Amino acid sequence: VLIAAYLLTSALGVEVWQKPLLLGYYITDVLVILLIGFSLFLSFPQTLYNIHRAYLKKTLKNDSLYEGLLPLVSPLLLFVLLTVWVVLSPSNILAKQPRLFLWMVGVAFSNVICKVIICQMSGTQPELFHWFLFPLALVVYAAISGLLGWMEEAVLAVFTALVTAAHVHYGVCVGRQLSEHLNIYIFSLKKRVQE
């Protein structure tokens, strides 16, 4: 879909996204409807079917609903906090700084999901609340209550830098730990020379 969007844009220009397609609907509206439709009618039923099969075969890692839903808490809270910020922002932060805000959203979600994946791979239990949620909750509260005022964009920039630096740090640390544990160089399967 992304490649088709790029090809469509290159062939018809960026104006194609700003003109109604059919009955007043834009191409972006059609894409959102398709995304939601595919998610609801293809991905979600397939996921439920896979869970049901794993339950019947007794191949689930645990039968606890709490432990099964625990990895969803941080991403869900992150989504809620970011949605509240966008919807209730007095300065309409998404319209003023769309690239910076979406960069922060992408990096924050990436970090939260990477931690969930590492926990799944290592067989450890994920933390209930990712540490990003606490400063983000403070920022969102300060933004929607009007405490930040004209500084909302600057605080977004600082928070984005913090989240980005934390994500890079996490990636480097995980890479180093795996390298040491497996006794290999990063991005190579050669064994390290023991000193």
Give one DSSP letter per residue of 99-127, joined into a string.
HHHHHHHHHHHHHHHHHHHHHHHHTPPPP
* CA 116, 125, 79, 133 torsion-angle sign: negative
The count of other CB atoms within 10 Å of the CB of residue 176 is 11
Question: Do residue 97 and residue 38 come from a single domain?
Answer: no
Give the total number of structural domains in the chain.
2
Last residue of a domain, one of 24, 40, 59: 59
**Same structural domain for residues 16 and 33?**
yes
Per-residue confidence (pLDDT) for residue 167, from 0 to 100: 96
Residues 133, 116 within the same domain: yes
Tell whether 53 and 68 lie within a shared domain.
no
User: Between these two residues, 32 and 96, which has the higher pLDDT value?
Assistant: 96
Q: Are residues 51 and 136 in the same domain?
A: no
Domain identity same for 49 and 86: no
C-alpha span between 179 and 170 (Å, rounded): 14
Overall average pLDDT of the 31-46 stretch: 86
Q: Are residues 150 and 124 in the same domain?
A: yes
* Shared domain check, 74 and 53: no
Q: Which distant-in-sequence residues (6+ apart) come within 8 Å of 12 by Cβ?
A: none
Report which of residues 183 and 69 the model is more confident about: 183
Residues 104 and 122 in one domain: yes
In this prediction, residue 62 carries a pLDDT of 66
Most confident of 13-22, 69-78, 81-90: 81-90
Boundary-marking domain end, from 59, 82, 102: 59
79 and 173 housed in the same domain:
yes
Please list, in sequence order, all residues whose beta carbon lies within 8 angstroms of the beta carbon of residue 43, skipping any fewer than 6 positions away. Answer: none
Same domain, 161 and 79: yes
Dist. CA 78–CA 130, nearest whole Å:
9
The structure tokens listed for 120 are: 């799944």
Provide the residue range defining the domain that includes 169: 64-194
Phi-psi region of 150 (alpha: psi -120 to 50; beta: other; left: phi over 0): alpha
Residues 73 and 127: beta-carbon distance below 8 Å: no
Question: Does residue 74 sit in the same domain as residue 124?
Answer: yes
Q: How much is the pTM? A: 0.71
Q: Of 33, 59, 85, which closes a domain?
A: 59
Q: What are the tens digits of pLDDT across the range 137-195?
A: 999 999 999 898 899 999 999 999 999 999 999 999 999 998 888 888 888 777 777 65
Asked whether the predicted pLDDT for residue 99 surpasses 90, the reply is yes
